[in-house]
Every structure is written in C-alpha cells, then in structure tokens.
Amino acid sequence: MRVDRLVIEAGENTFTLDLHPRLTVVAGMGSVERASLIGEIAGALGGSRSGVHLELQERSGRHLAVFRPPSGRHRLVDIDEVRDITAELGQTDGACDLLAHLGLDPVAAHRAMRFSSGDLATRSDRGKAVEVLAGLDQRRVWAAAEALRSAEGELASEAKALGSDPADAALIDLVEERHIAVERAAARFEATRKRTFFIGGASAIATLPGVYLADAAGLAFLAIAVLSVIASLVTRKQLLRASEAEEQALADAGAQSYLGFQLQRVNSLIGDDSSRRALMGVAGTRRSALAEWQQLAGDIPVEWALANREEIEAAARLRRGADALGSLSTPTGLPDDDTGGLSHAVITRLAEARALAGEGLPLLFDDPFHHLEPTVKLLLLELLGRSAGDPQIVFLTEDEDVTAWARLEAMAGEVSLIEPVPEHDRVEDTAIRL
C-alpha cells in the first residue's frame, strides 16, 4: 500500500502533501515537526485523525480515498469505480480504520512504520554478523558450511551405530590430538636438552680460557651457554603447556591419565579397534571441516549461518552494489567497517515494511542518518534510492546533506523533494503546499 496524497484540514487552512510513489524527501523538518507529521500519516491510516484525508493505492492497483471530515461520517471510496466501499471494512463505528482492516494494532503499526537513528543503531548490530559472512567468498563459505554439516551428520550416524554419542567421539579425538602434541613436545625437549647439555657445557668450560685470552671470546662462549639454557627452558615450557592441555582434555573426558582414558573410555564405548578407527576417522573429518569453517567465520555458528543463508546471500549482493557505489564515490571504497551493518539494517527494515500485513505500508524515515559521516550517508542514500518503491519511503529531514542529494535525484524524477517555502514567497490561499 502506498499513499499518493495526504490532506490535513487545520482550521481555515488546508495542507496538502503529494507523495512520490517511490521516495519523497521532506526537508527543513525539525524533530518536533517530524514527530507530528509521522503521527499524522500513521493516524490517517488508522481511524484516529478527523480532518485528515488520504488518497492511496493498494498493492493490487486499486485506488482509494479516505474522507474524514471534522464532523460527519467517515468514508472509504473506490476512486476508479466511484463508489462508497466503507462497508467492506466491516467496522460498525464508521472509523475507516485501514490498519485494523489489515489486522494491525495502531501503536505497533506506528512503531513499524517509523525508522529513526536509534533503530538504525540497534539493527546494525545483528547486521554486522551477517556482513561478516556476506563479505566473504560465498562459494567458499557455503561449501565449508555444507561440508561441516555433512561431517557432523556422518559423525552422528557413526556414533549412533556404535551406541555412542558424537560428543564422546569428539572427546576421544581431542584427547588423541593432545596426547600426540605431548609426545612431540617431549621429543623436542629431549633432543634440545641433549644438544644444549653438550653445547652449554662446552661453552661454559671454554669461558674461562676465553676470558684469559680475549674478553670478547669469553663473552661469546658465555652467550652461547646462556642461549643453550634458554632454548632448553623454552622447549620445557612447551612440553608443560602441552601436558596441561592434555590433562584438561582428559579431565573433560572423565579420566586422570591417558592410559586410564584408553581403558575406561575407549574400551567401554567402542568394542573393537576397527570400529574405533572408523569413528576416529569421521571425527577427524568433522574436526577439519570445523577448522575450515572457523577460519572463515570465526565464532559464528554454522547452524545460524545456514538458517539465515538467504539473508546473507542477499546481503552479499547488496555489498557488491555498495562496493561499486563506494568505488565511484570515494577512492578508498567503503568509508568504514560499520557501513555494511548499517546498509543491512536499512535493507532489512525495508523488507519488513514490504511484508507488513501482506499489503506493505509506507516507511517513514525520521532523519536516521544525521549523525553519520557524509561519505557513509551518501552511500546509504544511494542504496535507499535504488531500493525504494516497495515499500514507499517518506524521508523527513533537516539534514542539508540529504537535501542536497535529493535535489540532484529529483532532476531525474526518481525522488520528490519538498522544501519549505520562504516566508516572502508564500501566497495566501486556502491551500498551502509544504
């Protein structure tokens, strides 16, 4: 549904606001004026505004007019057929409440139609997670996601067939991995310890003769001895860290030692070695798939990504358009890292307004971009200009950046700009157009 004209009776004056089917920018509107006009538009769609009339068009193409005289019966008229269809609303009180006819609560509808800077900030937080995935190579992202989901399915099936649980297989796999890391660290420590023992000992022995013959030589031998000790300490610390990691994994698995784990955990869960190897193979595949996914997406759950795949892919297409616009407007492309989240927040709100009550309602922008950098603001306005139409957008602002952008767009007819008329240019009349 879109509004073609809003007419407000105010005493002896009548204010008429003609709206563009896609995007109308109303400039020179302070916060009080914006709140008032948003209330009038939302109230005109409801039944709470006597003296406010509407001309509108349904998604089906039917043209309607709502007449709400200050006194007298309110009516809904089909303009094309020139007939009163008020009875079709099914409202006996004569309120002509279009929102109620669509099954919408007036307060909730007002909240859904208004989009402010606060809404932009709140919605951009979720948009950032979507943009992280949207900014990646989509083929690689979804290939990794599908691979992980497939590996988890195979792991669950294999574990179920063995009467175990996927979590048990993951624990077994983790313990095995940590134990191998300990063995490798121990081998490195032993090899380093042997080498540094001989090197450090020989250097220490050679230090005194070296000092006697030349101070520099003595210091060199002493440095070699110190470095040997440091190398030994470093490898020992690595061994301790690996051992602590193994102990933690064993504790998670309910065992106190690796041998006890093998006896108590593995043998109780898996009857034979071949079954154990099969489960370990599937768990290893799952672990590799998980590592690939985490390398791409960080801590974003793969289940969430797959559940929101359509939205992420739409955001990826939007981002490509944003990148193109950014490269045209600024040499460095997108101005900051938050732009993707902000863009997503706007597009998501447009989609919600488009689907509202199955008919869609106009989206009323309450100057949401005023606090943004000019380059970011321009990019969002360009995206908005390309996306407007379904739903219809009314952008109320006192931001000169928005007004300047709208002046240029109005030349092509894609946007309608309504600016306040200077006092000396006003003509006294019964109809004053904003």
pLDDT of residue 18: 94
Domain membership of residue 297 (yes or no) is: no
Please report the pLDDT score of residue 209 as a whole number. Answer: 58
Q: Looking at the structure, do residues 190 and 311 belong to the same domain, yes or no?
A: no
Shared domain check, 174 and 114 = no
> 178 and 92, same structural domain?
no
Task: Write down the pLDDT at residue 70.
Answer: 81
Residue 72 and residue 18 share a domain: yes
In this structure, the answer to whether residues 172 and 128 fall within a common structural domain is: no
Q: In what order do the strands lie in the sheet with 52-57?
A: 83-84, 75-78, 63-67, 52-57, 2-10, 13-18, 431-433
Domain endpoint, select from 253, 269, 285: 269
The confidence score (pLDDT) of residue 334 equals 41
Residue 274 covered by a domain: no
Give the pLDDT score at 155: 78
Of 243, 269, 295, the last residue of a domain is 269
Write the CB contacts of 196 (distance below 8 Å, at least 6 apart in sequence): 228, 229, 231, 232
Residue 173 lies in a domain: yes
pLDDT the model gives residue 328 = 46
Residue 17 belongs to a domain? yes
Domain residues for the domain of 261 are 165-269
Domain contains 300 = no
Structural domains of the chain, count: 2
Question: Does one domain contain both 59 and 105?
Answer: yes
pLDDT in the model for residue 19: 94
Q: What integer pLDDT is reported at residue 308 of this predicted model?
A: 80
Same domain, 90 and 7: yes
Single pTM value for the model:
0.56
Residues 105 and 183 in one domain: no
User: pLDDT per position in the chain (434 positions), as tens?
Assistant: 899 999 988 777 888 999 999 999 999 999 888 988 888 888 888 876 788 899 999 888 899 999 888 888 888 999 999 998 888 876 666 678 888 888 888 788 888 899 998 888 766 656 667 778 888 899 999 999 999 999 888 877 776 666 555 555 555 566 667 767 777 877 877 777 666 666 655 555 555 554 455 555 555 655 665 666 676 677 777 777 777 776 776 666 555 565 555 545 445 444 455 666 676 677 778 888 888 998 998 878 888 888 888 878 877 876 676 566 555 444 334 444 467 678 778 888 888 888 876 778 899 999 999 989 998 899 899 988 888 888 899 999 999 999 999 999 999 888 999 998 665 555 444 443 43
Of 120, 112, 81, the C-alpha closest to 1 is: 112
Per DSSP, what are the bridge partners of residue 96? Answer: none
Q: Where are the alpha helices (DSSP H) in 356-428?
A: 374-387, 400-411
Is 30 in contact with 398 (CB distance < 8 Å)?
yes
* 157 within a domain of the structure (yes/no): no
Q: In the prediction, which pLDDT does 403 show? A: 95
In a domain, 156, yes or no: no
Query: CA separation (Å) from 327 to 63, 321, 385, 404?
Result: 42, 10, 17, 21
Distance CA 268, CA 252 (A): 16
Residues 253 and 358 grouped into a single domain? no
Position 10, amino acid = A
Residues 368, 116 contacting (CB under 8 angstroms):
yes
Rounded Cα–Cα distance for residues 135 and 294 (Å): 15
> Based on the domain organization, do 258 and 320 belong to the same domain?
no
Count of Cβ atoms closer than 10 Å to residue 185 Cβ: 21
Last residue of a domain, one of 218, 244, 269: 269
CB-based burial of residue 12 (10 Å sphere; 0-12 exposed, 13-18 middle, 19+ buried)?
exposed
Length of the chain: 434
On whether both 128 and 169 belong to a single domain, the answer is no
- 294 found inside a domain: no
- With both helix axes pointing from N to C terminus, report the angle between 106-113 and 339-355 in degrees, rounded to the nearest 10: 140
Residue 406 sits in the same domain as residue 322: yes
Read off the CATH number of the domain in which 86 is found: 3.40.50
